[in-house]
Structures are given as C-alpha cells and as structure tokens.
Amino acid sequence: MQEALTQEQIFVTVDIMALTVQDGELKLLLSRRVRPPDQGRWALFGKLIGVEETAETAAKALLEEMLPVREVFLEQLYTFSDRERDPRGRVISIAYLAVLPWKELQGVLSAGDPKLRLFTLHADGGGLRLGSPDGTELTGEDLAFDHGTIVETGLLRLRGKLHYTDIAFHFLNDTRSFFLSELQGVFEAVLDKPVDGSNFRRAMLGRYVDTGRMVQVEHPSTARRRGRGRPAALYCLTED
C-alpha cells in the first residue's frame, strides 16, 4: 500500500515572458492587471496550472489563448518560490521564456486592447528599463509581484543562449526567407549593442551554411530591389 500525500495548499502557476524584436529593439509583452493585488501594474501573463496539465502544456495553452495557433519557441526559465511573492497565498511560479516573431504579435496588438502593451527592454548596468511609445518609463520594481526579477533572469538567459543555440531564428518573421542583416539585427537588439557585420557573417556562414542548416535561396543580382543600398542575399533555414 502506498501512502497518501498530504501537504498544505500551495498554488502553482506558470508565467510567460514573451519577447519579440521590432524595429531593431527587444520588446516585452506585458498586460495590465485589472484587479488586486498590484492592480494597475504591468505583469507577465500567468495562470494556475490545471491538475491535468504539465507546466509545459499550461504555458502553451496560455500563449494560445492570445495568439493564433502557431508554434512558438518556449523554454522553461526558472521556478520562483519566495514566500512573499504573492499576497494571496503560497504561490509558486514556473516561469517560461517565449520568443515570438513580431508579425505574430502584430495582429493581436492591432486589436487595440489597452491591457496589452509592448515595452522596449533594456538592461544596461544595474536594473531593467522598460519603455513604451506613450512615454511611460518603468523599472523592474514597477512590475507586479516579482516579475521584475523574472524578466532579469530571462534576459540573462536569452543573451547567454544566443551564442550557442538557434534561439535567434525564432525572432525572425519568416525563417524561410530572410537577410543576414535581419538576423544580425536580432542579435543587436537582444545584446543591446552593435555586432560586427564581418564577423557575424563569417560565423553564421560557417555555423549554418557550411553544415547545410541554412541555404542561400536567391542571389542578390536576380532579386528585386528592396530599398537603399546593395541588395542582400536571401537565406532559408532548412528543417531537419
């Protein structure tokens, strides 16, 4: 006979830190809380996990609640369990990092829900700096609960993983047709500093083209013009 488990109630939630790159800037999707606690503050998306859900599936479900069905990059970040992180009780949060192409979000945001907003995300030196087009400037402290801490953790993780994983590609609107400069723009937005084009090109060509994971699909000379400057080559990510 196996014993039954007994434990005082602990609530378990998932929180999603949804990121995208728009206009060369890293942006974080936040929602304004409409009720206490922390009413009126900006927060990550979160929900309680159902008994029939894993943390993964709960996070996916939460994302799909607001986005058209589509596969997005989702990765577990860290689990936060400070006693005072939620005044409603003992709430443990499993935080996830989501990476979205800007085009995915465009539709959702153009609906004009004032409770949803994209904030530019910077973290030079001490803390976070969040900005919105209407001039609002926030720090990590201004976010609801411990969400400032979560965002800091996520940003560090993202920056680290940029170099040795394929995570940057998930920011692209179309992985089957993009310029290297677009990819470079993602790197620059995430790292929040300029990247040397020459080295970047060499690195990507060596890491992806030489291994067949990426191919040039259109030669610049045959392409239609796309704005100023020398036409760029189009690349396509191959799936395997």
Residues in binding contact with DNA, number by CB under 7 A = 23
Distance CA 232, CA 221 (A): 9
Phi and psi angles of residue 101, each rounded to the nearest 5 degrees, phi first: -70, 145
Nearer to its own copies, 27 or 147 (CB): 147
Contact predicate 28/171, CB 8 Å: no
Phi and psi angles of residue 41, each rounded to the nearest 5 degrees, phi first: -85, 160
Helix or strand run (H / E) with residue 236 = strand 234-237
Residues 137-196 close enough to bind DNA by CB under 7 A: 163, 179-181, 195-196
Residues 69-98 close enough to bind its own copies by CB under 8 A: 76, 78-79, 81-83, 87-92, 94
Q: According to the binding rule CB under 7 A, does residue 88 interact with DNA?
A: no
Distance CA 17, CA 155 (A): 9
Peptide bond into 37 cis (omega under 30): yes
Q: According to the binding rule CB under 7 A, does residue 198 interact with DNA?
A: yes
Q: How far is the CB of 145 from its own copies (least distance, A)?
A: 12
Q: How far is the CB of 194 from DNA (least distance, A)?
A: 8
Q: Which spans of this chain sit near its own copies (rule: CB under 8 A)? A: 1-5, 7-12, 35-37, 48-56, 76, 78-79, 81-83, 87-92, 94
